[in-house]
Amino acid sequence: MDRINDNSKLLFYLLILFTVLFSTTVHSESSSKPTISILIDDIGYKFKEDTRALALPGPVAYAILPHGPHTEVMSKIAFKKGKDILLHLPMQAEVMDKNEFLGPGALTLNMTREEFFKTLNINIRAVPNLIGINNHMGSLLTQHPGHMQWLMDSIKNNGQFYVDSLTSDNSVAARLARENNVPYLTRDVFLDHKQGSKNVRTQFKELIKVAKRNGSALGIGHPHASTIQVLSELLQNVDQHGVKLVSIKTLLHKSASGKKYAQRTGTTSAGM
């Protein structure tokens, strides 16, 4: 009887040892693989293109403009599919004639604090189930610490995070997010600054290069036909490029500000 017990004990300990060794190996492999994350901006205005974008495989995130004709329906589809949803917040651009593309709900420099918050809150309510905010345009507004502080106040109060689309090299968004302990990410690569399959493929390669150099990289694309067509092909077998596609939440939790945020609020990657 005792021998049987001893044998089964030995077997039990061996099993534990193997489990620990195996899980450590798997864990270190998956955590050392460079990660990429994809965010598709400008959702809410083109039904056909948006629907195609929302059908992309994997944990792709979507930034939805607040007052488009399809904002509500696309928010619902994204939520149903379990996608991460961001408010794509229109902000004033540096070049005046670009501002005609801002659309309704834009935050501008001439706004008072009251006007700013009123507009921002209407925008937030227009995109249900959002977990973060990123700027649509905003090359002028993201340079201004006063207005960006107001934005960080709101993001902090609502427990959201910020993604700097980085439309200006002089953006102070990351600095202000850090100072306010707001979790944030910064865009690494625009996938389709120039449209067309060839350009998107080149930019996707660039995204992988940055991820391999820095450990992770965030790419932003738009619901253009060529972008969606190339992504739907490349994201099917993203592993063959030696990187892993992760959600924007996962990328955030890997970042320094995300780790700090998770510690402070006691949230885990599953909880945010």
Binding region for Zn ion (CB under 5 A): 41-42, 136
Structure tokens at 47: 């039904």
Residue pair 66/111 in contact by the 8 Å Cβ criterion:
no
Q: Which is nearer to Zn ion, 136 or 249 (CB)?
A: 136
State the nearest-atom distance from the C-beta of 63 to Zn ion, in Å. 7
Q: Which is nearer to Zn ion, 41 or 49 (CB)?
A: 41
Q: Which is nearer to Zn ion, 136 or 147 (CB)?
A: 136
Residue of 98, 41, 44 whose CA lies nearest to 227: 41
CB count within 10 Å of CB 238 equals: 18
Place of tokens 């690569």: 189
State the nearest-atom distance from the C-beta of 18 to Zn ion, in Å. 50
Q: How far apart are CA 267 and CA 52, in angstroms?
A: 33
State the nearest-atom distance from the C-beta of 37 to Zn ion, in Å. 17
State the nearest-atom distance from the C-beta of 43 to Zn ion, in Å. 9
Q: Which is nearer to Zn ion, 134 or 143 (CB)?
A: 134
Q: How far apart are CA 222 and CA 45, in angstroms?
A: 12
- Max Cα-Cα span within the chain: 87
Q: Which residue in the shown chain puts its C-beta closest to Zn ion? A: 136
